[in-house]
Amino acid sequence: MAQKTEFDVIVIGGGPGGYVAAIRASQLGMSAAVVEREHLGGICLNWGCIPTKALLRAAEIKHNIEHAADFGIEVSGTVSVNLKKVVERSRGVASRLSSGVGHLLKKNKVTVFDGTAKLAGKSGANWVLSVTGKSETRLTGKHIIIATGARARALPGIEPNGSSIVTYKDAMVPEKMPKSLIVVGSGAIGVEFASFYQDMGVEVTIVEYLDRILNAEDEEISALAQKSFEKRGIKILTSAKLLGLKETSQGVAADIETGGAKQQLVAERVIMAVGIVGNSENIGLEATKVKLDRGHIVTDGYGATGEAGLYAIGDVTGAPWLAHKASHEGIICIEKIAGMKHVHPIEDNSVPGCTYCRPQVASVGLTETKAKQAGYEIKVGKFPFLANGKAIALGDDEGLIKTIFDAKTGALLGAHMIGPEVTELIQGYVVARSLETTEAELMHTIFPHPTLSEAMHESVLDAYDRAIHF
């Protein structure tokens, strides 16, 4: 029997936005297909979010063993790292989940095509896609969702070579540990790699063009993160411009300019983590009304582009470049296509951000600066983990929870955290914002004891001068 080639919805890209959109389309009774050129699950699952967490877990275990004496545990001998096994475990985790995505698509009767898709005009009311893989296939669909993701951005004249100058992809599968490392860029990707490699015994320097690391985070949280990293031994240069890189017998020489003064740093390896670029090329958009903004596809709040029947979701549409945002956009897009009522566009200020360095960083909503810039009269609460019983018992009491409220309405405008397991804790505030909770509901919520989450409660109380334990 010939393979089906006509669908209601065809998704280009099988990442966290694409495969979720396809599954939701099938749930709503639409015939759906996914075209994926490389790996189901996309960059996040195969080369980003998931395998990096496996690496960071290995680094965390190594750190805990090295500090076992703090808990009265004596470990004799030296702690050594079998790098091959660390990397193999990380790749195994990614592989397991990638095959899981394939199973989910099959279970939901979504057809998967291996290859590269390109728009090839229209056939009546349907769009035509040319899929080039082992053979060429032509697909037709009423609705085409572009979920092609993004790739690492390269600085002009400074191209990664896969050995001494690398992107995140090569940084995840090192064959040997370098003695020294320069990380260019201090967003989530940059600081996670800096944290991992430093815990593995590498001498790490972060070079950041802006005036602070983790620039998307609240300024106070950024400052605490920098203090913590420097305490660990990570060197940090901010307001630093990378002028160029050149290979030397020692590795790579980086020419840096800070405050008008030039200096040269030498390291065995350089990781480029200077942002990402949307994969909007070579998919046939030139002959459409789809608009681009610096390489990213412009959409409305529901994924629709300037061309009827063409939609875009996820990283290819711009910041924030987060897997969970892409998945949610996929759901919204499909439900809008299906004509469901009460579909709400995504709100960027309700998308949580998580960085899995040590200490962890997490946030949702407006920073203190942005809340003031938006004209809000605010109340700010803070509670340090050093006053939290569970954090002290864990031996991990570094960090802070910060909450920002609208002084007039009590609405939770933003929450910002640094410390133990805050990437899990942040969801409490995300739910609170989704429910349009005010300080009153949060104050009257009973938080379990002893938990890290109690610090969330105390931070709310502090905003209204009612904190008990600090």
Phi, psi of 364 (to 5 degrees): -150, 145
Q: Are strands 32-36 and 111-114 parallel, antiparallel or unpaired?
A: parallel
Which has the closest alpha carbon to 242: 151, 150, 157, 152?
157
The C-alpha atoms of residue 12 and residue 147 are separated, in whole angstroms, by 5
User: What is the per-residue DSSP string for 186-199?
Assistant: -SHHHHHHHHHHHH
3 HSE (CA, 13 A, CB side): 10
The C-alpha atoms of residue 168 and residue 48 are separated, in whole angstroms, by 8
The C-alpha atoms of residue 92 and residue 243 are separated, in whole angstroms, by 38
Q: How many CB atoms lie within 10 A of CB 87?
A: 18
Count how many residues are written for the chain: 470
Q: How many CB atoms lie within 10 A of CB 4?
A: 10
Indicate the SS3 state at residue 439. helix
* Helix boundaries (H) for 313-435: 323-337, 368-373, 389-394, 422-434
Q: Are strands 378-384 and 180-184 parallel, antiparallel or unpaired?
A: unpaired
Active site residue 444: no
Single out the catalytic residue among 39, 449, 457, 469. Answer: 449
Which has the closest alpha carbon to 35: 127, 133, 178?
133
Q: Are strands 203-207 and 180-184 parallel, antiparallel or unpaired?
A: parallel
Tokens 């990293």, residue located: 229
Which has the closest alpha carbon to 187: 278, 271, 294?
271
- Burial category of 434 from C-beta neighbours within 10 Å (exposed 0-12, middle 13-18, buried 19 and up): exposed
Structure tokens at 401: 């929870």
Which has the closest alpha carbon to 379: 404, 401, 415, 402?
404
Q: Are strands 269-272 and 276-278 parallel, antiparallel or unpaired?
A: unpaired
Alpha-carbon distances of 11 from 14, 41, 110, 296, rounded to whole Å: 7, 13, 10, 17
Structure tokens at 142: 């009423």
Amino acid at 363: S
Active site residues: 449
